[in-house]
Amino acid sequence: MTRPLLGLILLLATAAANAEWAMSNNDEKLTQYVDRATLRRSGNMVKMWDLVDHKTIQRSSAFYFLSSKWQYEYDCKEERRRALAFIWFDGKMGNGKVVYSNRDSGKWGPISPGSVGETLWKIACNASNINKMNIKKAVDKIRGEQKNNGMVGAVAEIDSCYMALENLKASSSSKYMKFEYCVSMDLTALRIDSIVSKKLNFPPHEYFEEANVVQRFHNRIAEGFVDKDRLSEIRGLVDEYIMNSGR
């Protein structure tokens, strides 16, 4: 092994050695993970490492491997990605001996709908570009609706938003913006209902019972709109805006 290649391996391995991998895809052939701590954003561009753990031994030319780590660059505006670096390991989960590695920017390729690449693109871009103004508008919208028409009006507004999301024919980024808006309204109404019900000693509105709220968010997580960590970030911003507005 030459010194330049050894240095390259050490550089790549260091970049992903202490990763905390979160599963992003699982099928009969492989399991894929991402490490959000490796996210690096510059404008519309995001870099992120992922790990592919194979169920069976893979062969490429003269090399055999069971897992690999990849660094991709994602273009959040144009919905495309390219490989920047990869490392192949003879062990599971990025363990064992490095059998091959490379660091060379590949060609840009489009994000195919329904692909693993789309899942990773969503994680990389959605985890990096929370639109705070979009969330604030949702908070203000549902607060006004609740004030004028009560919780019945708020529930109708949220249901209408989710229905529009399901029928939206647009790019992944546009769909996420719509989801972000809908879920921010949902979380705002949930918090308001909780405050009011405790203050008046009333039970919460049926729409905002825990099981119903969890199911609504679970459906959107399963559809790939957002992961749990991202949802937690949105919830924190909603709470901040509600508190700052005097509720």
What is the SS3 assignment for 42?
strand
Confidence grade of residue 173 (pLDDT, cut at 50, 70, 90): low
Confidence grade of residue 9 (pLDDT, cut at 50, 70, 90): very low
Domain ranges of the chain: 3-126, 132-244
Q: What is the mean pLDDT of residues 83-105?
A: 93
For 43, 66, 115, 118, 182, the CA distances from 111, given in Å and listed in that order, are 19, 25, 8, 6, 25
What is the SS3 assignment for 106?
coil
Asked if 91 and 18 touch (Cβ cutoff 8 Å), the reply is: no
Asked if 194 and 146 touch (Cβ cutoff 8 Å), the reply is: no
Q: What is the mean pLDDT of residues 225-247?
A: 76
- 21 compared with 159, residue with greater pLDDT: 159
Instruction: Please tell me the predicted confidence (pLDDT) of residue 2.
Output: 42
CA distance from start to end of the chain: 64
For 38, 46, 84, 113, 131, the CA distances from 121, given in Å and listed in that order, are 14, 9, 15, 11, 17
Q: What is the mean pLDDT of residues 155-175?
A: 83
Q: Is 122's pLDDT higher than 50?
A: yes
Q: Is 242's pLDDT higher than 90?
A: no
Per-residue pLDDT tens digits for 141-160 = 999 999 999 989 999 999 99
In one letter, which amino acid is 171?
A: S
The CATH code of the domain at 3-126 is: 2.40.128.710
Question: What average pLDDT is seen over the chain?
Answer: 83
Per-residue pLDDT tens digits for 187-213 = 999 999 988 888 888 888 899 887 888
- Is the pTM higher than 0.75? The answer reads no
Per-residue pLDDT tens digits for 23-49 = 777 778 899 988 877 888 887 899 999
